[in-house]
Structure 1
């Protein structure tokens, strides 16, 4: 099935993120501790947390590729949501740890010496690397229409911006403002916690079959343009992993044959799949109600 092949292609983006985060986390934590930059250490912990997110995306993509079985008749696409939910909890723990350590240092009168300027170069290099990883995953996510990989790409972009903030914080600390490094670390901790909350919120929204009502409008317009569709009475959709499942109720002329009605339903399924990549659509057909005088 084409959807499973697309999920398999998305693994390359997850693997790229994992190896990049492993490399950057090791470099930043080593240099950050050696040259006493709490901002760079916090950025390293941020990258370490993102390893978990990338692994969760990879596991989710792997499990989602499993075909339907006797107790999963709709497939295993929701595995992406479960993995992301677990990752959000782990990210929150790491973010709170960074906040505690940075806050303790920020309100302490000791250890206000600016870190070695090498730490700024390390952070700048990390920002450049993460920008290219973001571009790669962004293009791949668009090509295979994977929302999980799109989320990973946005996380890559956030990491690049965080590293830019670290550079600014370290340079600021060299302007005889040693507390800026600790303040930057504290802000990074807030970003990690906010990212964890965002992942948790979006994942639980999908798991409870939540769907943005505004996003349904293009789907409805596509169906309304089809011949012999008199009215779209109901349109519901839910996010299942990187796929969308839809339920549609339409009105047609009451004297159409069963064969013609069946052909209309096939048209709707094919049109939604081609135009909006909705992999599964259930179409219910009702006779058009007579207009009231």
Structure 2
């Protein structure tokens, strides 16, 4: 399956799953009046709202290149991810607020009984499945929006677990466990929001990729039998993809056609790296004075 189809399918699957969870939790909340289950129902309703935005955003990012966007629309993805991050941070703040006011008021809601335990346990299982599914597709297709969605689903496992602890604690006569667990989970939620913001701001400001990727770029350039050095290697994010420029050093006594063939081979080799989009290679003859034999991978 190509990237566009895979990414869009994930968005639709996540939206459908969240709609089912809203219906299930809302039904238990209406029947039992449980504060823990009610909070989870609201959380899932918020998930539906952001899922709609993600589906729309992923549709835009998977549109083919056009005259105004010759490199495609993948660069929209970090903005979609930041929207998810806002939702995650808001969820963390909401959990802190709800837990704090509950602790101060001393009103912990009613027990949800077996129905509450069942729906929250099912939520945790479903969210884990969505987390693994989204993360797998995100890694295969290098999608920051799907990675952010995966992390949000990981958060929902924690919130469902906290709500489950509250329901079980209430049933055992310890309702205080509900807001206390929620406060612990809120810290994890806020950290996840920070992770999403950190990663996607790097995509937007053109940060350098990890050092191991840069090392692989240099190694692929030097693997050509006629390339004896490489320098001025610049790799940076343009959206979720990496653009690369570098100079390769060759013997000066060769034809223009031979130099062109070397450039083409290096470009194709580096571009074969999944994270890389565009590659620009400048061929330097030895006699030009840019030879850097002692620093073959220096920038």
TM-score by length of 2: 0.82
Greater shift, 145-154 or 243-252, is seen at 145-154
Tell which has more relative contact order, 1 or 2 (C-alpha 8 A, sep 6+).
Answer: 1
Q: Secondary structure at the match of 2:105?
A: coil
Distance in 2 (CA, whole Å) between partners of 1:76 and 1:96 is 32
Question: What CA deviation, in whole Å up to 9, does each residue of 1:163-209 have, x standing for no partner?
Answer: 23432343233333211112233344444433333222222121001
Q: Which structure 1 residue ranges, 5 or more long, are not aligned? A: none
State the Cα distance separating 1:123 from its structure 2 match.
0.8
Partner of 2:285: 287
Q: Flag the 1:35–1:232 CA change in 2: closer, same or farther, 3 A.
A: farther
Partner of 2:165: 168
Asked whether 1:83 is paired with 2:80, we answer yes
Equivalent runs, 1:1-293 vs 2, <5 Å? 5-32=2-29, 34-111=31-108, 114-214=111-211, 215-288=213-286, 289-290=290-291
Distance in 2 (CA, whole Å) between partners of 1:234 and 1:228 is 18
Q: Flag the 1:100–1:192 CA change in 2: closer, same or farther, 3 A.
A: same
Question: What CA deviation, in whole Å up to 9, does each residue of 1:56-81 have, x standing for no partner?
Answer: 44333322233444443433221111
Contact 1:114 1:174 (C-alpha < 8 Å) held by counterparts: yes
State the Cα distance separating 1:6 from its structure 2 match.
1.4
Distance in 2 (CA, whole Å) between partners of 1:279 and 1:83 is 20
State the Cα distance separating 1:107 from its structure 2 match.
2.2
Contact 2:78 2:144 (C-alpha < 8 Å) held by counterparts: no
Distance in 2 (CA, whole Å) between partners of 1:82 and 1:31 is 35
Q: Flag the 1:143–1:248 CA change in 2: closer, same or farther, 3 A.
A: same
Q: Flag the 1:143–1:111 CA change in 2: closer, same or farther, 3 A.
A: closer
Q: Secondary structure at the match of 2:276?
A: coil
State the Cα distance separating 1:161 from its structure 2 match.
4.1
State the Cα distance separating 1:281 from its structure 2 match.
1.2
Distance in 2 (CA, whole Å) between partners of 1:56 and 1:141 is 17
TM-score by length of 1: 0.83
Contact 2:36 2:109 (C-alpha < 8 Å) held by counterparts: no
Distance in 1 (CA, whole Å) between partners of 2:188 and 2:36 is 13
Please report the RMSD computed on the Cα atoms of aligned residues, expressed in angstroms.
Answer: 3.0
Q: Flag the 1:267–1:112 CA change in 2: closer, same or farther, 3 A.
A: same
Question: What CA deviation, in whole Å up to 9, does each residue of 1:225-272 have, x standing for no partner?
Answer: 222222221333333444332222222222233222222222122222
Q: Secondary structure at the match of 1:229?
A: coil
**Number of aligned residues:** 290
Contact 1:130 1:157 (C-alpha < 8 Å) held by counterparts: yes
